[in-house]
Amino acid sequence: MISQSVIVYNLGMEKADQYNNTPNIFEYYDYRLFLRDLVEYERKRNPVFSNRYIVRRAGFKSPTALKHVIDGKRNLSLESANKFASALKIEGIKRHYFLTLVLFNQTESLAEREKYLKELVELKRSENPSLLDEGKYDVLSKWYHLAIREIVDLPDFKNSVKWISRILTPQITMQDVADSLDLLKKLGLIQKKEGRYQQSENILETDERVRSVKVAEYHRQMIQLGAESITRFPGNERDISGTTLRISREDVQNVKILLKEFRKKLLNLAVNSANADQIYQLNFQFFPLVIPDRKARIAEREEM
């Protein structure tokens, strides 16, 4: 479970002041927000520049085509994205980034999203390395980064990479500990006061779309640790249980609500826990064992 007090995600890289400056596409992870900001910027420069004007230049018949895209009511095909790029004079590497951004935003496949994210990062790097913000997501790349952030606030904490390495289970190398401490300091998640590490109140803001890719690997690692804990710890030091349920589609959402409420209660318990000298990981996995949308999916399988 990732503490909401440590990492939050930005739904859209809001740019309130950007209308006075040309929107830089390489600062965006959401093509809809980029289009919104670019249109607004151009409209301020030239009142004739409107959604309808762009739609006509792009060769579309519907005057609301662009508005529906920006509002999230319609997706863009690559052909349509290219037409809008031409109408908005998005060329060269910027067009490549824009088209990749469209694919990144619209794919439902986590593997494809990860592939497109890597491509976006490479394009960003080739255009302007100073725009790279990959580091903020590195905290989710290894299971032990957030664990070490909690370790520094243990009542018996020793300011030693060797000590941290030895108490972690599974154990990691001292070099891994040192690298993790450096990363946490760089991101402002811990600080050093009077020669001792301690947690900071900093909140790490990340973009939801990028976070969804990075957090998947974090969960994979934690789920794997959960499986290994069956043999790593005696029963009195861990709790593993599971239930197979037959419920309605509506109650699937109710279960998610209950889990969310339970997580909040657990976080509240942790915040108010006196002499908090233990660090535990709690994973929730709630997933279907049969095809949820069976009529359509079974028909597809029969055709194959």
Give the residue with greater pLDDT, 126 vs 7. 126
Q: Contact 8/204 with Cβ under 8 angstroms? A: yes
pLDDT of residue 298: 55
Cα 302 to Cα 291, 294, 295, 296, 298: the distances in Å are: 14, 12, 11, 10, 6
Burial of 53 (0-12, 13-18, 19+ CB in 10 A): middle
- Can you give the pLDDT at residue 222? 95
Q: Is the pLDDT of residue 179 over 90?
A: yes
Dihedral sign, Cα of residue 83, residue 88, residue 93, residue 99 = negative
Length of the chain: 304
What average pLDDT does the chain have?
A: 86
Task: Report the pLDDT value the prediction gives residue 278, as an integer from 0 to 100.
Answer: 96
- C-alpha count within 13 angstroms, C-beta hemisphere, residue 150: 20
Topology of domain 138-240 in CATH is Arc Repressor Mutant, subunit A (1.10.10)
Element (H, E) at 9: strand 7-10
CA distances from 274 to 20, 145, 149, 154 (A): 50, 23, 18, 11
The band of 302, judged by pLDDT with boundaries at 50, 70 and 90, is very low
At residue 52 the predicted structure's pLDDT band, cuts being 50, 70 and 90, is: confident
The answer on pLDDT for 44 being more than 80 is yes
**CA–CA separation, 6 vs 247, rounded Å?**
34
**Percentage of the chain exceeding pLDDT 70:** 84
Predicted pLDDT at 203: 62
Residue-wise pLDDT tens digits, 214-230 = 788 889 999 999 999 99
In this prediction, residue 12 carries a pLDDT of 41
Higher pLDDT: 173 or 10? It is: 173
Q: For residue 7, what is the enclosing H or E element?
A: strand 7-10
The structure tokens 């694919």 sit at 103
* Lowest mean per-residue pLDDT among 20-24, 260-264, 298-302: 298-302
What's residue 13's pLDDT?
41
Amino acid 110: pLDDT: 83
For residue 18, the model assigns a pLDDT of 45
* Angle subtended at Cα 167 by Cα 151 and Cα 211, rounded to the nearest 5 degrees: 50
- Distance in angstroms (rounded) separating the CA atoms of residues 263 and 282: 9
Q: Answer left, alpha or beta for residue 19, where phi above 0 means left and psi between -120 and 50 means alpha.
A: alpha
Please report the pLDDT score of residue 292 as a whole number: 86
Confidence of residue 7 (pLDDT cuts 50, 70, 90): low
Task: Classify residue 247 as left (phi > 0), alpha (psi -120 to 50) or beta.
Answer: beta
Q: How far, in Å, are 6, 140, 263, 271, 289 from residue 3 at the CA level?
A: 6, 12, 10, 11, 28
Q: How confident is the model at residue 75 (pLDDT cuts 50, 70, 90)?
A: very high
Beta strands in 157-296 (DSSP E): 190-193, 196-199, 204-207
Q: Under 8 Å CB-to-CB from 4, ≥6 apart: which residues? A: 267
Residue 11 pLDDT more than 80? no
What CA–CA distance (Å, rounded) separates 267 from 280? 12
The model's pLDDT over 227-259, given as tens digits with 9 standing for 90+, comes to 999 999 999 999 999 999 999 999 999 999 999
Q: Where are the domains of the chain?
A: 12-130, 138-240, 244-304
